[in-house]
């Protein structure tokens, strides 16, 4: 297993943000995290990435107990987090931002060049803008740079926090296509998304978080077609004339979903 989480608990002061969270993600698998506002999706990603230490429970990444490892140690272990908001270096060019992702292995010139080509294969538009300042790009292009920068570190586990937030539909489709195809590179992906339908359609499995607990889990397709998940997280009501699996599911209510 690439990622194993057992009985995880995270607190912010007296507030329990996560409790009794247990899940496993295999190598090359895409796991979608969905849930309502404040459900704990981002907290779970931050805990796995070593940004927010857990109060209790165990996290194993690539077979090693990393429950008490900090973020830079997790990066050395082959894990990358793409946070909400992208956090690019706006004054640097696209190429410079991408190369920053390979800083830890900067002396491996040949492998880094090959990885850069892989990023351009995944996001062809970035090749056209290598000399442009990142701050001058559209939101969708910036998100591609953020994901590309993480991929430059050749991660084995990739955590994505709200990659579609605020993006035009065409960019959402491109990014989700890439996410769904990363298994070909042997990368394990965990994606927390407000666009629950798009995330589940790109994933192998899904988890629904509510008030810091897992309430539903299973194959992504089964969650998409399940009546309870559709009603609460995909905006499909029992009285709107639609059924699980119909196209109407794409018109979910964004205001029910968050980080």
Domain contains 200: yes
Answer whether 177's CB lies under 8 Å from 5's CB: no
CA-nearest of 202, 115, 189 to 157 is 189
Q: What is each CA distance from 125 to 43, 128, 142, 174, 195, in whole angstroms?
A: 32, 6, 11, 11, 23
**What pTM value is reported for the model?**
0.87
191 pLDDT more than 70: yes
Both 199 and 129 in a single domain? Answer: no
pLDDT at residue 235, as a whole number? 59
Both 74 and 164 in a single domain? Answer: yes
Q: How far apart are CA 39 and CA 22, in angstroms?
A: 15
* Choice between 231 and 208, residue whose per-residue pLDDT is larger: 208
How many domains does the chain divide into?
2
* Choice between 236 and 26, residue whose per-residue pLDDT is larger: 26
Q: How far apart are the first and last CA of the chain?
A: 26
Both 166 and 247 in a single domain? Answer: yes
**Structural domain span for residue 235:** 3-78+158-256
Both 137 and 164 in a single domain? Answer: no
Partners of 3 in the β-ladder: 25, 61
Instruction: Give whichever of 109-113, 203-207, 221-225 has the largest mean pLDDT.
Output: 203-207
Both 27 and 118 in a single domain? Answer: no
Domain contains 215: yes
The upper half-sphere exposure of residue 54, i.e. CA atoms within 13 Å in the direction of its Cβ, equals 26
pLDDT at residue 241, as a whole number? 39
Entry field: residues in the chain: 259
Phi and psi angles of residue 139, each rounded to the nearest 5 degrees, phi first = -60, -40
Confidence of residue 257 (pLDDT cuts 50, 70, 90): very low
What's the whole-number mean pLDDT along residues 10-15?
95
CA-nearest of 56, 44, 53, 55 to 71 is 53
Q: What is each CA distance from 58 to 6, 22, 32, 52, in whole angstroms?
A: 5, 9, 20, 13
pLDDT at residue 125, as a whole number? 95
Question: What is the tens place of the pLDDT at every residue in 224-247?
Answer: 988 877 777 765 543 433 343 333
- Token pair of 160 as six digits: 């994505």
Arithmetic mean of pLDDT over the chain: 88
Partners of 8 in the β-ladder: 21
102 pLDDT more than 50: yes
Confidence of residue 16 (pLDDT cuts 50, 70, 90): very high
Question: What is the tens place of the pLDDT at every residue in 127-144?
Answer: 999 999 999 999 999 999
Both 127 and 177 in a single domain? Answer: no
Q: Looking at 154, 186, 202, which one is the last position of a domain?
A: 154
CA-nearest of 25, 30, 2 to 202 is 30
- Token pair of 40 as six digits: 């704990």
DSSP-derived pairing of the beta strands 157-161 and 56-61: unpaired
Question: What is the tens place of the pLDDT at every residue in 142-188?
Answer: 999 999 999 999 999 999 999 998 899 999 999 999 999 898 889 99
Domain contains 133: yes
Confidence of residue 108 (pLDDT cuts 50, 70, 90): confident
109 pLDDT more than 90: no
Both 165 and 240 in a single domain? Answer: yes
Answer whether 134's CB lies under 8 Å from 93's CB: yes
Both 166 and 235 in a single domain? Answer: yes
What's the whole-number mean pLDDT along residues 240-255?
36
Q: What is each CA distance from 63 to 4, 24, 60, 181, in whole angstroms?
A: 8, 11, 6, 24
Buried b (16+ CB within 10 A) or exposed e, 41-75: bbbbbbbbbbbbebeebebbbbeeebbebeeeebb
Q: Compute CA 76 distance to the chain's CA centroid, rounded to the nearest angstrom.
A: 19
pLDDT at residue 240, as a whole number? 38
Q: Looking at 133, 154, 175, which one is the last position of a domain?
A: 154
Both 170 and 241 in a single domain? Answer: yes
118 pLDDT more than 50: yes
219 pLDDT more than 50: yes
């Amino acid at each position: 297993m690439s990622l194993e989480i057992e009985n995880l608990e995270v607190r912010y002061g007296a507030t329990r943000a996560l409790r009794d969270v247990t899940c496993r993600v295999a190598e090359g698998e895409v796991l979608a995290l969905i849930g309502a506002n404040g459900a704990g999706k981002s907290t779970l990603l931050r805990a796995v990435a070593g940004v927010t230490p857990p109060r209790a429970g165990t996290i194993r990444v690539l077979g090693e107990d990393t429950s008490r490892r900090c973020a830079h140690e997790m990066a050395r272990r082959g894990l990358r987090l793409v946070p909400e908001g992208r956090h690019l270096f706006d004054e640097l060019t696209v190429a410079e931002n991408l190369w920053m992702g390979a800083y830890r292995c900067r002396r491996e010139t040949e492998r880094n060049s090959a990885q850069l080509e892989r990023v351009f294969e995944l996001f062809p538009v970035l090749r056209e803008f290598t000399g442009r300042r990142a701050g001058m790009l559209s939101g969708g292009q910036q998100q591609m740079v953020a994901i590309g920068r993480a991929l430059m570190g050749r991660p084995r586990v990739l955590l994505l926090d709200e990659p579609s937030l605020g993006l035009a539909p065409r960019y959402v489709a491109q990014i989700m296509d890439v996410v769904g195809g990363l298994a070909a590179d042997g990368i394990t992906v965990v994606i927390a998304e407000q666009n629950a339908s798009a995330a589940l359609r790109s994933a192998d499995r899904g988890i629904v978080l509510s008030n810091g607990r897992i309430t539903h889990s299973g194959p992504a397709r089964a969650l998409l077609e399940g009546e309870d998940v559709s009603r609460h997280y995909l905006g499909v009501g029992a009285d709107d004339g639609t059924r699980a699996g119909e196209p109407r599911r794409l018109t979910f209510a964004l205001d029910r979903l968050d980080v």
